[in-house]
Amino acid sequence: MSKSLELTKFVTNVLNTYSDDNISLIDNYIRRNLVRTIDRLIADRERSVKLKEESEIVIKNFCENFAYLSCTKSYFYLRGDEWEHIIVDQVYDKWCCFLKELFIDKEKEDNGIQIYSGRRSLFRIVKKTIRSINILDKTPGSLLIRKTRRVFKHIGLKDNELTYLFSFLGSCIYGIDYVFKDYLHIWHGYKIADIFNLLRGLIGSNPYFKNIRHNIPINFDYSAICCIHFPHQPHSRRLFLQGVSTLPMETRMVFTYAFREYSSNIFPCGSLVGFTDAVNVLDEYLSKSCKSSVSDFVYVSEFYEDFRDYLYQKGIPRSLLSTKEFKTHLCKILDKVDNDICFVKVAFVTKHAIFNRFCSECYNNSELLKLDENIHNDIYKKYIDWVSNVRDEVVIEHYRIDNFIATRKEIKDFLHYSFNSNKKNSKILITT
């Protein structure tokens, strides 16, 4: 049944409840007022709809420059291309100023007057609209981006690693893991727990941090690892700690923006890019450390410590290989390994090299030829005296000579392997 038929039936039923005398009175009233009343009703409805539509447009235009951060219940206003924190009273003041300017432009229009007069009631809608606009979905200003990156530069990361870090933090804020779930995240370095606490302070407690590991699992695919090293730089770390405290609450925008813009393009990332496994890392190290086929005397422990320094410089966890694993692979590569002693020419400074320097300064060639492994005690005493005299003046690769002082046993080994003809390459252990 159509609306008109329903209305006709309703009116008929109502009129049937009245007497004929009253019907005559109703008839006269309807004939005089019905059309005018209906026209006014329709006009009022049209004006109301138009006023509502225009109010929505005005509110939408006003709210374009505002945003809200729900976790801190903070309002933000876009001034130029930078977002600034404001209180709700400031929002209302800006709302009134906005409507005044609009009212001046539309002073002859009834809707403009009504919107301005109803500014207080409309402000409830304004606040609700602004609270639906998440500032984390907005683009941060260039000054905020530069300030944030300048502070985080002190943490010691490269540009691509910093972008990764921002993207990771952005994913934590959004609660999204579809980009990162296929990668193992290795974060390591000096006082890494302090870094975690600072980042939690910036974005809040987050379950994703529990998935970050500090060591590389055995037999894990290195192409699916993001290994980030936070180096030991005390001065820079202090600057970072100080700088973080100056960052505004809207800094989170930088992280969410990085996640939206760069998360799909940052992989692979980190210090393990280009390596397939731990052996591959060791092979690269040996290719740079072993200089020639000419043999020299090196302890496995010295080799291992230099390897750990290499890992640190590369930003790889020093626990990559244990001493046992290192020695096992070393024996496969080098054909001259006797117990814990290697016979190979290396690129780093060894204790034996310092001992050779001592020999060259304290003995002439003829005296060297007369040396015997059985006089190691006398040589050791003379060696210690020599070290004491040159300690303050000899610096080797930024380390004091104290780092390379040989023990009594080690000097005995040097002499033993130098003068025992049954040992491999004995003739080259002391330079004559």
Predicted local confidence at residue 104, as pLDDT: 65
CA distance 82 to 152: 20
Q: Is 396 exposed, middle or buried (0-12, 13-18, 19+ CB in 10 A)?
A: middle
Which comes out higher in pLDDT, residue 166 or 423? 166
Q: Is the pLDDT of residue 18 over 80?
A: no
Domain ranges of the chain: 3-46, 53-137, 142-265, 275-347, 349-432
Using CA atoms, how far residue 42 sits from 37, 39, 115, 176, in Å, is: 9, 5, 21, 51
Using CA atoms, how far residue 399 sits from 229, 396, 405, 410, in Å, is: 23, 5, 12, 20
Predicted local confidence at residue 395, as pLDDT: 59
Q: Is the pLDDT of residue 421 over 50?
A: no
pTM of the entire structure? Answer: 0.74
> What is the average per-residue pLDDT within 316-344?
82
Contact call for residues 276 and 184 (beta carbons, < 8 A): no
Long-range contacts of 78-82 (CB under 8 A, 24+ apart): 78/138, 80/141, 81/141, 81/142, 82/141, 82/143, 82/144
Predicted local confidence at residue 256, as pLDDT: 92
CA distance 385 to 317: 38
Which comes out higher in pLDDT, residue 136 or 333? 136
Long-range contacts of 423-428 (CB under 8 A, 24+ apart): 423/338, 424/295, 424/336, 424/338, 424/343, 425/295, 425/336, 425/343, 428/294, 428/295, 428/296
Predicted local confidence at residue 424, as pLDDT: 45
What is the per-residue pLDDT across 35-52, written as a single tens digit (0 to 9) for each?
777 777 776 676 667 767
CA distance 162 to 168: 10
- Percent residues over pLDDT 90 in the chain: 15
For residue 49, what is the DSSP state?
Answer: H
CA distance 183 to 234: 30
Q: Is the pLDDT of residue 269 over 60?
A: yes
The residue behind tokens 């409840």 is 17
Identify the band that residue 33 occupies on the pLDDT scale cut at 50, 70 and 90: confident
What is the per-residue pLDDT across 164-210, written as a single tens digit (0 to 9) for each?
899 888 888 888 775 667 788 888 888 888 888 888 888 877 777 77
Predicted local confidence at residue 138, as pLDDT: 92
Predicted local confidence at residue 268, as pLDDT: 73
Which region among 50-54, 221-225, 313-317, 341-345 has the lowest average model confidence (pLDDT)?
50-54
Residue 200: its H or E element: helix 192-203
Predicted local confidence at residue 106, as pLDDT: 53
